Chains A and B, each alone.
Chain A
């Protein structure tokens, strides 16, 4: 009842047509990137690691749609396989943060007391590190691999996920339907999973969308510094770093992956903002 009333209010406050209009481009771009990333193996792309040193740093042409990089590798293919890297890390890392951070946040917000104090202290300590510095330290010592980068960035997203879920749990835990559930003798577990968790999913989903773009940027930064995805495997951040060396003679090697990354992050931010506005009109979820 409450949720549908809020939805009605949003629909009344904002003209419906404008949503559709503004969503087409970002949604289309993200879908295209995701589709290509998933089907990369089957659409006849050249090997992203195959080097053709004679044809290095070629500008875009009919044969190489986006040109070739410093080692004569096909840029289009590397961009698409790089999208795969970005999406895997971008989707999995916040999901990991979700599971751990969400569990911490829900228990802290529901049980309060000592558990809450411990959880908030833990979040404080993790937040006391500048995020990138922590990620650098983790990947540097864990060793560089897709899994470790995902793990490091997942750990980084724990505090934010815990905060969002804790704040929302605090708001829901005192509602009458929770009291009603407790009155009929429901266990804590049942209340957490059946009464509170479903209400947390919409704000967590909005958070997840925003987190994807944050994590894609973070993965790019790690790879840019040479501490992310190891070398032959393409990553947008790594491509930008490679292209930086030839910026004066072959600017496309850096600017094309930069543009693709920008478009993707911009689209994801736009979608995230839209979903957040729909889920939480007060925009207080983060």
Chain B
């Protein structure tokens, strides 16, 4: 368990540094919330008074440890703008962002796995080459661009899906899913390319192993060899990449939520940035970064659980 303890320690240190760095960025850089709230006509006395009320006149490090202390008890403070507790604001919007990311990953995996399996049936064959080119093309599409193109195609030209707006589950499951299809497609259609490439190259390596030769020698049909023998041992890197890509997915989610007007955490953050709502930005960025770090940590763990070779190598060191 020594290795696990070290990883935990590292996690704590990184989380500490991440929140501190966020605090420094948000607080050192110019942009005074007091001026934003009071407007440009405010007197210096008013501004000083409001700064004192908000606790902005104290030294930054004092404020940071103050913030950290409350954050550890689950209190991220209240928005400077409307007094809404930041934790509440995040919790309210988190389901939308999570649904978006899960649906995007499902779409990405749903394309990546079949395409990778079909391409390795004949590496260098026609399907392999077409799918590689398609992946290369999709990879060059910025998500904001793909989102616009999808709206143009599916909402404006063919009028199949709503262009923007979000319907909560309470308005019906189909309405909810319908409003999430284009946003998740925007993320998923880019994400699958990376997953497909990784899985394809791992499958090619696995297919050279002796146990595949044995399976083939037993006379198993190709699809059983691929699905039952090759897929599982080839999916370790895929899982790591899934974890690593969450960072990109979160950034993508900010953009996609903005394009499609989805009330998620990304839009909360953007709103906070536009309003100079320091405490909201601090809370959301820390939350996002912490979530990202923890997910990567868990993926790392999962990787060790799934692949005994990794576990063994790490225990040895």
Known contacts A220-B144, A224-B255, A258-B145: does B31 contact A129 (CB below 8 Å)? no
* Interface pair B152/A269, CB less than 8 Å apart: no
Judged by a CB distance under 8 angstroms, whether A265 is at the interface is yes
Nearest first, the 9 A-B pairs at minimum CB distance are: A132-B251, A141-B29, A266-B140, A130-B250, A140-B273, A130-B247, A125-B17, A265-B140, A258-B145
List the B side residues contacting A262 at CB < 8 Å.
140-142, 145
* Interface pair A213/B140, CB less than 8 Å apart: yes
> Nearest chain B CB to A138's CB is how many angstroms away?
7
A-B contact pairs, 6 of them (CB 8 A): A128-B293, A129-B289, A136-B273, A220-B144, A237-B144, A255-B148
Judged by a CB distance under 8 angstroms, whether A227 is at the interface is yes
Which residues of A are interface residues toward B (Cβ below 8 A)? 121, 124-125, 127-133, 136-138, 140-143, 213, 217, 220-221, 224-227, 237, 240-241, 243-244, 247-248, 251, 254-255, 258, 261-262, 265-266, 269-270
List the B side residues contacting A254 at CB < 8 Å.
148, 152
Which residues of B are interface residues toward A (Cβ below 8 A)? 10, 13-14, 17-18, 21-22, 25-26, 29-31, 136-137, 139-145, 148-149, 151-152, 156, 246-248, 250-252, 254-255, 258-259, 269-270, 273-274, 281, 285, 288-289, 292-293
Other-chain contact of B289, A130, A225, A251, A270 (Cβ < 8 Å)? A130
* Interface pair B26/A141, CB less than 8 Å apart: yes
* Interface pair B144/A224, CB less than 8 Å apart: yes
List the A side residues contacting B22 at CB < 8 Å.
137
List the A side residues contacting B258 at CB < 8 Å.
225
* Interface pair A240/B145, CB less than 8 Å apart: yes
Residue of A nearest to B284 (CB): A133
Per the bound structure, the CA–CA distance linking A244 and B143 in Å amounts to 14
> Nearest chain B CB to A59's CB is how many angstroms away?
15
* Interface pair B254/A133, CB less than 8 Å apart: yes
* Interface pair B269/A121, CB less than 8 Å apart: no
List the A side residues contacting B285 at CB < 8 Å.
129, 133, 137
Other-chain contact of A138, B25, B152, B293 (Cβ < 8 Å)? B25
Per the bound structure, the CA–CA distance linking A237 and B30 in Å amounts to 25
> Nearest chain A CB to B68's CB is how many angstroms away?
16
* Interface pair B21/A125, CB less than 8 Å apart: yes
Per the bound structure, the CA–CA distance linking A213 and B141 in Å amounts to 11
List the A side residues contacting B248 at CB < 8 Å.
130-131
Per the bound structure, the CA–CA distance linking A140 and B152 in Å amounts to 30
List the B side residues contacting A258 at CB < 8 Å.
145, 148-149
List the A side residues contacting B31 at CB < 8 Å.
140-141, 143
